[in-house]
Structure formats: C-alpha cells, structure tokens
Amino acid sequence: MAAVHLIEGPVGAGKSTFAAQLGNRLTAPRLILDEWMVVLFSPDRPETDFMSWYAQCKNRCIEQIWRVSTDLMDSGIDVILELGLIQHHDRQSFYDRIDAAGCGLNVYVLDPPEAVRLRRVRERNASQGDTYQMTVSDEVFELANRMWQPPDEDEIRERNIQFIGTSN
C-alpha cells in the first residue's frame, strides 16, 4: 500500500528543503501547497481581507492535491505532501481523510526556534532561491507563527510523528 509522507511545521522551518531531500530518497513526487497557491492564485491576491481569501484558496488546493495524491497512491506511488496544516484541527481532519482512504501515513514535523525561522525567511526573501515561492513579510511571519500549534502528546503517540532536527 502506498503512503502519504506528510511534512508539517511553522513558516521557515525547512519543510520544502526536507521535502526535496525526502523526495530524492524515496523517488516520490512532492505536492507542496505553496507551489500550487503561487501558480493558481497569486495574481488574484487581494490587498485587504487576505486571510479569508487565503483560507478559501488553500482549501480548494488541498482538495485537488488530495485527488492527485489518491490517484498516485492507487497506482502504488507514495506521495510527499506539504500542506500547511499548522493547527491541530486541520491536521486531524486530514488524518481522518487518510484513515478513511486506508493508506499508510508517515508524519514529519520540523520546528526549529523562532529566531532561526525568522532569519531563514528573511534570507529566502532576499535570495529568492530554490525554495522561494513568495515574499513573507515580518507581519505575515508573525501571524503564521502565532497560528502554529505543534503536535501535542496524543497526536505524537497516535500518529508516530518523527521530529526532524533543523537548527541552523
């Protein structure tokens, strides 16, 4: 049975870099929410009421990413997903979907210190290198940072979460 390799963590944690490394190791496709959001929705980003717009677009992307993922897994191909499920209820909802589909699940969480993440985001904004998708302002960083809910003990135990060290 094919499996989902779900990568989670706050903004600037190193998720995209880890996804690329994992994709190379597993020879599995990576379906990364930010890539879909940039291609499909960035030109339409509003100046105001950004969060409401973002939530709607994010949900539509996740639905399509899940459709593509199930097609791949039905063909015996593992998928690597980076979906920005930064809150408990979002992850639980996705876990329920995975359970209902009967596929395997591996969860990786990256959660370096906030100062490290902020430095990475600022460097990524400036260099616009391989993992750059969009500029993340300090204000957006702070908003996303406040929303991040790391896995609690129950989630860690129930989902056998692997924490990936990314301290530099």
The C-alpha atoms of residue 71 and residue 158 are separated, in whole angstroms, by: 26
Percent residues over pLDDT 70 in the chain: 98
The b/e string for 16-33 (b: 16+ C-beta within 10 A; e otherwise) is: bebbeebbeebebebbbb
Structure confidence at residue 167 (pLDDT): 61
CATH number of the domain bearing residue 60: 3.40.50.300
Task: State the helix-helix crossing angle for 114-127 and 138-147, rounded to 10 degrees.
Answer: 140
Q: Whole-model pTM?
A: 0.91
Q: What is the DSSP letter of 161?
A: P
Range of the domain at 156: 3-164
How much is the mean pLDDT over the chain? Answer: 93
Count the domains in the chain: 1
pLDDT in tens, 26-63: 999 999 999 999 899 877 877 777 778 888 899 999 99
